[in-house]
Chain A
Amino acid sequence: MYKYDQYDDAMVRARVEDFRDQTRRRLEGKMTDDQFKPLRLKNGLYLQLHAYMLRIAIPYGTLNSTQLRKLAHIARTYDRGYGHFTTRQNIQFHWIKLEDAPNILGELADVEMHCIQTSGESIRNISADHYAGAAADEIMDPRPWAETLRQMTTFMPEFSYLPRKFKICVIAAEEDRAAMRWHDFGLRIVKNEAGEIGFEVYPGGGMGRTPFIAYKSSDFVPQHQIFSYLQAVLRVWNRHARRDNIHKQRMKILVHELGEEEFTRQVEEEFRHILTLGTDFPQAEYDRIAAYFTPPPFETGLPEEIDRSDPDFAVWIDQQIAPHKAPGYAIVNVSLKPIGGIGGDITAEQMEVVADLAERYSFDELRVAHTQNLVLPHVRKADLYAVWQQLRDAGLADANLDLVTDIIACPGLDYCSLANARSLPVAARIAERFADPAAQHDLGELKIKISGCINACGHHHAGHIGILGVDRKGTENYQLLLGGSGAEDVSQAKITGPGFDEAGVVDAVERAVNHYRTIREPGERFIDTYRRVGMEGFKEAIYG
């Protein structure tokens, strides 16, 4: 994985000192919180209901064991002994003291981490396929491009104050495991007929209160022009977006208002101009970065067989393992969705267990998935049983990947000052309702996503079943949605009808699931059945 050189290190440390100075001015009363707010937000520090929340970037979801151990140390020293992985492959700490924040940034810099541009109106941490570098189906590792773009989009002067946040995602497989088309700028690495690498570009996606799925603006941007193309997109948006209504300033709204064709035309015109400025990085710099992502020294001649004699292990294997590109290896998904627990939460002790496993069994590599789970990307099949035993002892061996209890949920009203309703208890109640492992397995892939307000951090628009918490005359109310997807079969979920209270929405989910079980055809997932029969039958089952 990438290693900082003296330049990267100097930039991150300069940012720490910058923030230390800003924090000092705030604590000494030389700045109001109104003045401090845009500065702290550029560095991932939010003021929430009970305390400050610090969001730490995990570029393209890749971590090593040293970094995860540092996060465990931060959880213990500055927070309440745990952290929360987010739907953007980042980690958040929810109980931070302002005066500690500069020191935390300093500790992060020691392990090549930062909070730069993890919030505010900026180009956010770039997300990527969490199986990158390991997936059997990728055409190349997308992370060298994500790292190159990370550097080029750090402190980009022209885009110091974008109309709103801007999210980039890079994948390199047909299967979309990163919700690429729900980003402002989605990239899929492709090869053309001549065998050259380039990008399919999908701008204009986003969730929030006005969801849009990104459209394809180009079939092939040559690889060494992608930074120019990105600048063209940013410039068209920065110059022409509305600035009078914060809810209408995301790029997806401009794309919608101009129309895809006109937006593409303006981008292409600007792109032709920006290409003449020669701001793209050279092949030599790409090669320098890509060298850090050389595949680890996989052993050859390893056995493919897995001893399945322990039935609990066999269940876990069947659910949590994905195919690896190297023979004898597997990708291990570590569930952070225990029944009755809080999805995405992890204790300092659990972080250390996973860090040890990564170091010992996975070439010191770890990934964070946008589904709020962890991944050990390169595990020998022969080691799976040992890995499983250690995960089990740490309470991390749930076998529910992509099943009904693998629920994405935002922190909601338990933490967030924007939320209208709690998401975590709803997720916990649903998971308890479907806790039986055999029943979960029988239902198959079923993605439930819960947001506590219309900002949609819990991705409810992309849920096979989505739940949106709203405020209805001062009480928490939940709308139910069906038919969304964040995968390659991307679609936007639709509201079923009137909302429910907390107990009511859990019952409604159960009725929808039972209806699916009754009418499904062999091999159909929930989403397939919904697409085949449409909303009406489900509506009847839900509302009676």
Chain B
Amino acid sequence: MADVLRFRDDAAADEPAVSLDAFLDQTNAVSVRIEAGDDVRRLAPVLDRLRLVEIDFPKFRDGRGFSSASILREMGYTGEIKATGDVLVDLIFFMRRCGFDSFAPNVPLDPADAEAALNRYPYVYQHAADAEVPIWQLRHPELANG
């Protein structure tokens, strides 16, 4: 079992993440911790100094973190987004699509289970934060360069 499952080649930020309010108050912090109710859009002015966003899932039924990650990627953030807390292997496929690129759940993931979960679906039906091409686009290759 790996404590952190990471899908990035760069060096991980080694600074502990601080709360959103603390992060916005400091000028040199690079890691922020987003709780389920936090508004990630508040990070817009400081994206350039951000290297790690930890998004917490207090329970797996709380899906707010999926929107937080998606919005960060829409804002152009390219650093690490780490899912922490109650993260189930059955949801990491969707988390990857929302822009999460590392996982450090309370209960570590079995890498083989994670591998299987990430490769279960051969296609996707819609755009998301990843580079996957939706089915409708595969059906219409003539539109690819238009």
Q: Mask for B44-61, Cβ within 8 A of A = 1, else 0? A: 000000000000000011
The 6 closest A-B pairs by CB, nearest first: A161-B63, A157-B97, A160-B94, A157-B94, A285-B136, A279-B127
Q: Which of B36, B61, B124, B139 lies in contact with A285, CB distance below 8 A?
A: B139
Chain A residues whose C-beta falls within 8 Å of the C-beta of B115 in the assembled complex? none
A-B contact pairs, 17 of them (CB 8 A): A7-B123, A10-B122, A11-B122, A154-B125, A156-B126, A157-B93, A157-B97, A160-B91, A161-B60, A161-B91, A235-B67, A238-B63, A238-B66, A243-B36, A279-B126, A284-B143, A288-B139
| Cβ–Cβ contact B121 & A161, under 8 A | no
Residues in B whose Cβ lies below 8 Å from that of A227: 126
Given A22-B90, A243-B36, A282-B143, A155 and B124 touching (CB < 8 A)?
yes
Chain B's closest residue to A17 (CB) is: B120
Instruction: Write out the residue numbers on chain A whose beta carbons fall within 8 Å of the beta carbon of B90.
Output: 22, 39
B64 lies within 8 A of A239 (CB):
yes
Quick check: B74 and A277 within 8 Å, CB to CB?
yes
Interface check B98, CB cutoff 8 A = yes
Against B, the Cβ 8 Å flags (1 = close, 0 = not) of A1-24 are 000010110110010011001100
Is B140 interfacial (CB 8 A cutoff)?
A: yes
Flag if A157 contacts B128 (CB, 8 Å). yes
CB pair A155–B94 under 8 Å, yes or no, is yes
Task: Provide the residues of chain B in CB contact with A160, threshold 8 Å.
Answer: 63, 66, 91, 94-95
* In contact, B121 and A151 (Cβ under 8 angstroms): no
A281 at the interface (CB under 8 A from B): yes
Binary flags per residue of B108-131, CB closer than 8 Å to A gives 1, else 0: 000000001000111111111000
Chain B residues closer than 8 Å to A106, beta-carbon distance: none
| Complex partner residue of B139 from A7, A38, A157, CB under 8 angstroms | A7
B135 at the interface (CB under 8 A from A): yes
Q: Would A7 and B61 count as touching, CB distance under 8 A?
A: no
Contact indicator B124/A162 (Cβ below 8 Å):
no
The tally of CB-CB contacts under 8 A between chains A and B is 99
- Complex: A282 Cα to B45 Cα, angstroms: 33
Using Cβ atoms and an 8 Å threshold, which residues of chain A touch B39? 239
Return B62 CB to nearest CB of chain A, in Å. 5
A159 at the interface (CB under 8 A from B): yes
Interface residues of B in 24-41 (CB under 8 A from A): 36, 39
Partner of B140, one of A8, A39, A243, A284: A284
Q: Which residues of B contact A18 (CB under 8 A)?
A: 120-121
Q: Tell me if A152 counts as interface (CB < 8 A to partner B).
A: yes
Q: A186: which B residues are within 8 A, CB to CB?
A: none
For the complex with contacts A11-B123, A157-B97, A284-B143, 13 further pairs of A-B residues with Cβ separation under 8 Å are: A7-B139, A121-B61, A155-B125, A157-B70, A157-B128, A158-B98, A159-B63, A160-B63, A238-B67, A243-B64, A278-B127, A282-B136, A282-B140
Contact residues, A127-170 vs B (CB, 8 A): 151-152, 154-163
B110 nearest CB across to chain A (Å): 11
A: which residues have CB within 8 A of B?
A: 5, 7-8, 10-11, 14, 17-18, 21-22, 38-39, 121, 151-152, 154-163, 227, 235, 238-239, 243, 273, 277-279, 281-282, 284-285, 288
Q: Is the CB of B60 within 8 A of A158?
A: no
In the complex, how many angstroms separate the beta carbon of B43 from the nearest chain A beta carbon? 15
| Residues A285 and B140 in contact in the complex (CB < 8 Å), given A22-B90, A155-B121 | yes
- Is B12 an interface position by the 8 A CB rule? no
- Complex contacts, A284 vs chain B, CB 8 Å: 140, 142-143
Chain B positions within 8 Å of A161 at CB level: 60-63, 66, 91
Give the chain B neighbours of A14 by CB distance below 8 A: 120-122
What is the bound-complex CA distance between A59 and B91, given in angstroms?
Answer: 25
Contacts of A7 in B (CB 8 A): 123, 135, 138-139
Distance A243 CA – B65 CA, assembled complex (angstroms): 12
- Chain A residue numbers with a CB within 8 Å of B68 are 239
State A376–B36 Cα separation when bound (angstroms).
49
> Which of these, A157, A278, A282, contacts B66 with CB under 8 Å?
A157
The docked-state distance in angstroms from the alpha carbon of A285 to that of B141 is 11
Hey, which chain B residues are within 8 Å of A235, CB to CB? 67
Task: Please pick, from A8, A21, A162, A277, the residue contacting B127 in the complex, using a CB distance under 8 A.
Answer: A277
> Smallest CB-CB separation from B119: which chain A residue?
A14
A243 to B60, CA, bound (A): 11
The reply to whether A38 and B125 form a contact with Cβ atoms under 8 Å apart is: no
Q: Which residues of A contact B123 (CB under 8 A)?
A: 7, 10-11
Smallest CB gap from B130: residue in A: A157
Rounded to whole angstroms, the CA-CA distance of A492 and B121 in the bound complex is 43
Bound-complex Cα distance A107 to B15 (A): 52
Q: How far is the CA of A154 from the CA of B94 in the complex (A)?
A: 12
What's the nearest-Cβ distance from chain B to residue A512, in Å? 42
In the assembled complex, the CB of A290 is this many whole angstroms from the nearest CB of chain B, namely 13
* A158 in contact with B67 (CB, 8 Å): yes
Asked whether, in the complex, the Cβ of B61 is within 8 Å of the Cβ of A152, the reply is no
Minimum distance in angstroms from B119 CB to a CB of chain A: 10
- Closest residue to A285 on the B side, CB-wise? B136
Let me know if A281 and B136 touch, CB within 8 A: yes
Residues in A neighbouring B60, C-beta threshold 8 A: 38, 161
A152 to B128, CA, bound (A): 11
Q: Please name all residues of chain A whose beta carbon is closer than 8 Å to the beta carbon of B61 when the two chains form the complex.
A: 38, 121, 161, 243
Complex-state Cα separation, A541 to B82, whole angstroms:
65
> Which chain A residues lie closer than 8 Å to B124 at the CB level?
155
- Nearest-neighbour CB distance to chain B for A398, whole angstroms, equals 41
**Whole-angstrom CA separation of A47 from B133 in the bound complex:** 37
CA distance A158 to B61 in the complex (A): 13
CA distance A214 to B53 in the complex (A): 37
Chain A contacts for B134, CB-based, 8 A: 281
Chain A nearest CB from B41 CB (Å) reads 10
Q: In the bound complex, what is the Cα–Cα distance between A441 and B140 (angstroms)?
A: 54
Cα–Cα, bound, A273→B74 (Å): 10
Contacts of B91 in A (CB 8 A): 160-161
* A240 CA to B124 CA, complexed, in Å: 27
What separation, in Å, do the CA atoms of A111 and B90 have in the docked complex?
26
